[in-house]
A = this chain, B = another copy of it.
Amino acid sequence: MKQSPPPFTTGPTAWTRSKPPLLRFLKACHAEFTSEIGGAVADYIPELGKADPAHFGISLATLDGHVYEVGDTQVPFTIQSMSKPFVFALALDTLGAARVESVIGVEPSGDPFNSIRLNAENHPFNPMVNAGAISCSGLIHEAKGDAAFEYIRQALGRFAGRELDVDDAVYASESATGDRNRAIGYLLRTNAVIKENVAAVLEVYFRQCAILVTARDIAVMAATLANRGINPVTGEQVMTPYAISRTLSVMTSSGMYDYAGEWIYRVGIPAKSGVGGGILAALPARLGLGSYSPKLDKHGNSVRGIKVCQALSSHYDLHMLNRSDDARNSIIADYDIGNSPSRRVRRAHEQNILAAHHQDVRVIELVGTLSFSNVDYVSRQLAARPRPQLVIFDLRRVTAMTRAGARLLAEEFRELAAHHVTVILSGIRRSSPDWKAIAEWTEGLTNIRNYYLLDAAIEWAEDQLVYRYGGAIDFFEATELSEQSLLAGLTEEELTDLASLASIQTYQTGEKIISAGDAATSLFFLRSGAVHVTLPDGVRLATLTAGMPFGEMALLEPHRSADVLADMAATAYEISLRDFERFRQQHPRAGERIMRNLAQLLADRLILANAKLDLLTSG
């Protein structure tokens, strides 16, 4: 990485030429493999032979729903054997795993896809060979009767995110030339794998193989497999995670027929091909790939499609068994409230209690994906140090939770409950999927609290300590001006003069006292109750109790920069700026003292803000 200075040039037009590197890579693959003209278009039925051998499309769908497309990604072709994994998943969710797994095996056969051989129990070896796939269609037919095919077409449409059509010409010629599959069908019925009308089941199977898809469809369907059954474009949960992971399992062990071992070894991405020229590859938690190029190798796999899969895997080292991660990345901050109290400005006796007991509240801010490894690490961090009374888990930056992570977290709450530790969750709403995932395992726990704002969670925890250590708060006891921090150091006489200028205001709970943007014409000294200061965007800056000033920035700024609302019934001394100006003329020393107190107050807030910044950025 050299260090010579860069030029500042180029107009905005250049921007349009900028592309994500992944798109550039896919374009490069397309350009390079277009020259691969080996292989032959499938012609065991005339209709397939009509495919244009020049067609070549590559599409990649990410799990946040972006779809890259290069070349002929909109050309429709028949899905053929790529329908097998989806119909197997559909069978698992429709008839239940027990039923399906009782008649279809999951071991590789070592035979070609159209082998008629069954396993030792006279069942199909797995759902990826024709015998297994026809059995799946039979199971769907068993459950749905004449509606079976439409049921399958709708399901595949949900994987693709759009309605899928059928190529009737291909279907007709598949049916006309499908005797080997008929033989398999009847063999399956003699072994009671199919109980139904074999002819009807085979029509379902032939039709499902003739469903029309594009490379883009295949990419989205694959991404849905890679995303635990959630279509990343439509957001729909198409199948259960169980059906999806088991489908990927049989794709891994048998998806590429007698080439399966080589495929895991060299490419390491679960995949399925179809004689129509399509290949789908699904890398869990990463991407879905769809390619279309009709020329096939001797295994019946698209020549260019295989090249694309191999290039993607090797260029980016994407082998599914070559993963790394770091558990420690999930804790972004771990501290007690000594360094980071709530924004509630506390009075002296409360401050003393919190100063003595701040270690009793531990705050752990988590980020990213909460996985098995991440939550286990967090639980060991908790076990390693003396037990606090309350633990706040801030989940605001948690963007995903695996089932393992959710379950381990719930088990940690149970562990803490057993030691009478209160758990407070912030940054998560009870309506969220993550909350539901945790709640599945927290039945009966009574030690869990929930405040969406971390500051509110810390404030509640502080109150628990204040109550516990005897510092009951009487919000309604009124205070004198002499108790005001901003007026500290003023003489009796100065205070009396100032008091004569003050009027006592009364506010109801929720009443807005100051509005951001208004002219700042007076300052306030809170006499009783509590108010909070909030930015227009809703960020809560502070909660104030009796003895604290508010609107004091009027001494520096002509306009209000924040809203102030009453948290409860409250009273305040209000002094107009005009009167205060006059007071400062008469008492210049007091004026300077007040300015000094104001600077002190701002300095204290700045120290807190910087301490909090250091916590967050020392990560």
The chain A residues found within 8 Å of chain B, CB to CB, are 1-4, 6-10, 12, 14-15, 17-22, 24-25, 62-64, 66, 105-108, 110, 126, 227-228, 241, 244-246, 248-250, 252-254, 258, 260-262, 264-265, 268, 270, 284-287, 315-330, 332, 367-369, 371-373, 376-377, 379-380, 382-383, 386-387, 389, 396-400, 402-404, 407-408, 411-412, 414-415, 417-422, 427, 439, 442, 444-450, 454, 464, 468, 539, 541, 553, 555-557, 584, 588-589, 591-592, 595-596, 598-600, 602-603, 605-606, 609-610, 612-614, 616-617, 619
Contact = CB atoms under 8 A, between A and B. Distances in A.
B373 A24 contact: no
Copies in the complex: 2
Contacts of A399: 326, 328-329
Contacts of A584: 592
A368 B329 CA distance: 5
B415 A18 contact: yes
Contacts of A412: 20-21
A12 to B, nearest CB: 7
A446 B555 contact: no
A62 B485 CA distance: 53
Contacts of A250: 261, 265
A270 B559 CA distance: 66
A613 B619 contact: no
A599 B553 CA distance: 9
B404 A329 contact: no
B612 A316 contact: no
Contacts of A591: 588, 592
Contact of A327 (B10, B63, B241, B315): B63
Contacts of A402: 317, 323-324
Contact of A605 (B372, B588, B606): B606
Contacts of A316: 372, 403-404, 407-408
A427 B599 contact: no
A377 B606 contact: no
B415 A19 contact: yes
Contacts of A261: 105-108, 126, 250, 253-254
A62 B553 contact: no
Contacts of A367: 329, 332, 367-368, 397, 619
Contacts of A377: 62, 64
A129 to B, nearest CB: 12
A12 B268 contact: no
